[in-house]
Structure 1
Amino acid sequence: MDATTVDLAGEELVVEFEPAWTANALVEADPDGDGARILCGQEIGSVAVTAELWDLTPPLDAEGWQDVSEVSVTWRSAFIDFGTTDQGDDPSKRLDLPGPGDYRLRVHGRNRDDGDPRDDSDPVEEYLIQVWPGPIAEPVVHKATSRTAAYWSS
């Protein structure tokens, strides 16, 4: 993670759009497709990211998370690459998709308000990304309780 975001990219491995962050201050999809950005609470550091592929809409479980939002994105690639500055060409940093198409991304975030830079004793900033095939729909904010979300949404 670098420059305050985790980038979700397709085959081009480049996410160049600039989100406004006012819609949900957690995740925004590239309007041109094949990309999304997750806004982190720290500028440079390590975050934990878990990604899950679902066949259908997963049950919503916001307990234990500060912020939870959903967006739609059109993927032209058959995978999502979790762009970081240090991963190289590591296939374990990818989530294989059933194929190109329209998907929903639900992102959960926690420990977004714990400082920058962080001490080793601080909790790790963490994200859960759930992905499933679905038609394009409006973004949804399920939960927004972090100071980071409040700052960027104002």
Structure 2
Amino acid sequence: MPPSQLKACLGLTGLVAEEPLGPGVQLVTGVAAGPVTITLDSLPAAPARPETGWEDIAEFSVEVRDGPLQLLGHFDDPEASAPRLDEQGAGTYRIRVYGRGRDTAYDATLSEPTEEYLVISWLAPAAAPQTIAAGSTTSAGWIESTRHHLERGTTWKVETGGPAEAGLAAREQRSRAESSLRAAAAKDTAPRPPTETPPN
């Protein structure tokens, strides 16, 4: 894949990737299943500088035509009362995601949160995804895995015999993706690295 396409891939941020089950972007967590702490904030303008004290920080752009742009669980429907990241109305938003604690319980199933995220948004011209910080092993591993699959030309693919099996396979392959940012129209998407399968 050309360097320009590698640079524009969401998976190379280490924090977000394409939602494999539909339009949108998913937050890549360290835990396999369980709660995480997430704070949302919609700003009137870009912050002066990234906040300190976070291991991983990434940005990407998303176009919202009629919203809502909300942070949801994989099988949740948009709720009128849920916080929105598109409070300024239709337009192109810059989304910055902060993460910490992603290595604490990597790949574990938990009942109490051990990792924390801050997701902020503001109206801004579209720009390529950007990794501002990648201090966790989880982030570094995700970036390396994404780069490896993109350079090999691997694509996200689920092969099954029917709808029930397809749904199960898709749920299994979205490991460590607890939440999705869904918009009515999200232009910025990229392939999510598939699970490695050892050769027969």
Q: What is the TM-score normalised by the length of structure 1?
A: 0.72
Query: Are 2:108 and 1:117 aligned?
Result: yes
Rounded Cα–Cα distance in structure 2 between residues aligned with 1:60 and 1:112: 23
Give the length in aligned residue pairs. Answer: 131
* Paired position in structure 1 for 2:26: 37
- Gaps of at least 5 residues in structure 2 are 1-8, 145-200
- Structure possessing the higher radius of gyration over alpha carbons: 2
Distance 2:48 2:73 in 1: 28
Q: CA 1:91–1:28 in structure 2 vs 1: closer, same or farther (change >3 Å)?
A: same
Q: Report the CA distance between 1:85 and its aligned residue.
A: 5.0
Alignment of 1:152 with 2:142, yes or no, is: yes
Instruction: Verify the 8 A CA contact 1:72 1:138 in the aligned structure 2.
Output: yes
> Which segments of structure 1 move beyond 6 Å, counting only runs of 4 or more?
none
**Deviations 1:107-136, CA, capped at 9 Å, x for gaps:** 00011111142666x762111011000111
Shift of 1:26: 0.5
Q: Which residue of 2 aligns with 1:66?
A: 55
Contact between 2:35 and 2:113, CA under 8 Å: does it hold in 1?
no
TM-align CA RMSD: 2.5
Match of 1:52 among 30, 41, 51: 41
The structure with higher relative contact order (CA 8 Å, sep 6+) is 2
1:27 offset after TM fit, Å? 2.1
CA 1:93/1:139 → structure 2, altered by over 3 Å: closer, same or farther? same
Aligned 1:71-150 pairs, distance under 5 A: 71-84=60-73, 90-95=79-84, 96-115=86-105, 116-117=107-108, 124-150=114-140
Higher strand share: 1
Change (3 A) 1:103 1:89: closer
Percent identity over paired residues: 32
Q: Tell me which protein shows more helix as a share of its residues.
A: 2
